[in-house]
Structure 1
Amino acid sequence: KEELPKEALQTATFLMTMNCLFDVFNVNSHSKLDCFKPYEGNEEDLTKLEASREWVNSWKFVNYKGKSRILPCQEGWLLNINALKQLFN
């Protein structure tokens, strides 16, 4: 089994985390794998979704002038995560 170079681990982790976040919104069947399960509103799912919200909220994007900002995709993810939580309240 080949291992990723150390320099690629952060990118791989980001992509796996994004894949899991997409699965929460797009998967409609239940699986034993954590990333391939739809959100059901239980305590475990809520904890994972809140961790995802905090992760997305921690993203930092800096423009060429050095100014930090929130990108539309980041704002969209935060809105969708909050909306999903509200559907189960």
Structure 2
Amino acid sequence: MSWLWAIIVGFVLGLIAKAIIPGKQEIPLWLTTVFGIIGSVLGNSVATWIGVEDTKGIDWTRHLLQLAGAVLVVFLGDMVWNAIRSNKQRA
């Protein structure tokens, strides 16, 4: 069941990240979900590193770090996706 939650959280974080990033991102929905999952894992890693991975109540810091990770990964992933697509169109 944890893999299902990872997909759901990745999907939601990916969509929120796309909404935060200015402009239009050209990545497909499935890749948005994958990037959201990667960003979530990145945010959890940072939360563990700084010692806020588990607190009493709602883990706002961890959730904000997950969102920041998703924004970063979606932004960079969209740049790579567009670079790959533009190289294929030139060939």
Considering fraction of residues, name the structure with more strand: 1
TM-score clears 0.5: no
Considering fraction of residues, name the structure with more helix: 2
TM, length-normalised to structure 2: 0.30
Larger radius of gyration: 1
Larger RCO (alpha carbons 8 Å, 6+ apart): 2
